[in-house]
Structure 1
Amino acid sequence: MRALEGKVALVTGASRGIGRAIAERLGRDGAVVAVAYAREDAAANQVVKAIREDGGRAFAIRAPLGAHGDAVALWAAFDEGVREFAPDGGVDIIVNNAGIGSSSDLASISETEFDTVFAVNVRAPFFIVQQGLERLRDGGRVINISSGLSRIAMPEKMAYGSTKGALDTFTLNLAKELGPRGITVNSVAPGIIDTDVNADWLRGDDEALAWAASVSALGRVGRTDDISGVVAFLATDDARWVTGRTVDATGGSAL
């Protein structure tokens, strides 16, 4: 039996990058995967197709984040899609991956941009969990995708880093809140990962690539499967005694 057979997972921001890798890995491990995404219908459908072609089960739910009521809308879409796979409507694994991956520096960021970054990166995960509690089964998992910038200073991305620090604090408190139900809550903090988000400065620039590789103690840029593997572990029963932690998955960046 696969490690997550019989489980239902929700992954936000799952149409590309790290979110896609997580969704596909959880699908390979046996979970039914709700592929939540904001805009890219074709990309999300491709993820669902890839999971199904690999022998898994999945469905897509369009759920933009960042506005009041977004969590309610997300769970309404989940309820509709999950009926085919889990008639009780339950969920075992919530992966809060969706987020805005950068922000302007202190001198140039506007109040509007600041509010938007916090709305997507902090408020949305908070209320996704709040609104999902009645669906989240005992013994479940909440996994928040944080960032190495919650511990590494990078002033030019100060607002973004602050959202990830807030997410880690949310993780810590939520683990205490949900512990009596056997639910574990952890953060995973990636470093520099080769995704389309970083493509504009990382790919095709040998100097940038060399610098990015040098940041890690392991001497290379991270891959999406470096992160999905950590998430997959935290989702299994093997991680049942790990909770309230931020798992550094930066490849030893800035040690």
Structure 2
Amino acid sequence: MESKNKIALVTGGSRGLGKNAALKIAAKGINVIVTYQSKKDEAENTVEEIKKLGVKAAALQLNVADSTTFESFFKEIKSVLQSTFDADKFDFLVNNAGIGHHAAFAETKEEDFDNLVNIHFKGPFFLTQKALEILNDGGGIINISSGLARFSLPGSSAYGAMKGAMEVLTRYQAKELGAKGIRSNIIAPGAIETDFSGGAVRDNERLNKMIASQTALGRVGLPDDIGGAVAFLCTEEAKWINAQRIEISGGMFL
């Protein structure tokens, strides 16, 4: 199957890292479905940008925190696959949607913890499970971790722990889905200048300089540093990469 007939589903693909990944995937000739939680206009603008790259695209609403909606979401996906892409299945799932959270371990509230579990672990776990029915054999899963699962910065205990869980899950997915030729890998961005966590890395000059000073390449990351690696994992060139954690941090805290 040629890449132009392949389809990637990118959750949280209307902005930030997800948008950059969606555009880089589209530049490889792969059709893209993006999801958004609330900002439909942003998602529709992203779809138009993707289409300008010569592929098909669509946007659907999804709240990854609410797994009870996944069944109806995949009914919508099946309908859109038929109407927009003339397909029954898709090829790549990028579990990108997420939120930031910053609180000391001793001060982390249970409701915030539960929300992080739902968005960063339970959501991707069961969304991927439901996707298996319409994920093509020989396809791929790309999960998102964080440098914070490798090194520890105060205030990220809950978030970092969820990402650590996703790293273990990625290996299990690779092991159990290998019979279908489905690969599962996880990327771990370092600190990136986006609106994530209220734009802290982008807008806090002291934090930005501290991270840059601890990064081998001497700066913090940009969204454009990440998307290409996600897109690469959706290509034939990456067909033998499986069960890997790929950190994309410019060499942070070495």
**Contact 2:105-2:157 at 8 Å conserved across structures:** yes
**Contact 1:122-1:167 at 8 Å conserved across structures:** yes
- What residue is the counterpart of 1:126 in the other structure? 125
1:189-236 C-alpha deviation (Å, 9 max, x unpaired): 000111122564334544332212122111111111211111111111
- Secondary structure of 2:162's aligned partner: helix
1:8-47 C-alpha deviation (Å, 9 max, x unpaired): 1100011110000011111121111111111111110110
State the distance in 2 between where 1:244 and 1:222 align: 24
State the distance in 1 between where 2:165 and 2:69 align: 19
CA change 1:80–1:195 in 2 (3 A) is: same
CA change 1:4–1:222 in 2 (3 A) is: farther
1:97 to partner: Cα distance: 0.3
State the distance in 1 between where 2:129 and 2:232 align: 24
- 2:16 partner amino acid: G
- What residue is the counterpart of 2:72 in the other structure? 73
1:116-164 C-alpha deviation (Å, 9 max, x unpaired): 1010100111111110111011110100011111111123110000000
Structure 2: unaligned runs, 5 residues or longer: none
**Contact 1:105-1:159 at 8 Å conserved across structures:** no
State the distance in 2 between where 1:87 and 1:51 align: 18
State the distance in 2 between where 1:88 and 1:49 align: 20
- What residue is the counterpart of 1:58 in the other structure? 57
State the distance in 2 between where 1:200 and 1:218 align: 21
1:87-131 C-alpha deviation (Å, 9 max, x unpaired): 342010000000122242212211111011010100111111110
- Secondary structure of 1:155's aligned partner: coil
- What residue is the counterpart of 2:114 in the other structure? 115
Residue 29 of structure 2 corresponds to residue 30 of structure 1: yes
Residue 44 of structure 2 corresponds to residue 45 of structure 1: yes
- What residue is the counterpart of 1:248 in the other structure? 247
The structure with more helix, counted as a fraction of residues: 2
- Name the TM-score, length of structure 2 as normaliser: 0.94
Within 5 Å, give how 1:1-255 maps onto structure 2. Answer: 4-197=3-196, 200-255=199-254
State the distance in 1 between where 2:197 and 2:207 align: 11
- Secondary structure of 1:139's aligned partner: strand
Q: State the identity %.
A: 38
- Name the TM-score, length of structure 1 as normaliser: 0.94
Structure 1: unaligned runs, 5 residues or longer: none
- Secondary structure of 1:252's aligned partner: coil
**Contact 2:189-2:226 at 8 Å conserved across structures:** yes
- 2:180 partner amino acid: R
- 2:239 partner amino acid: R
Q: Tell me whether 208-217 or 55-64 shows the greater mean CA deviation.
A: 208-217
Matched residues, number: 254
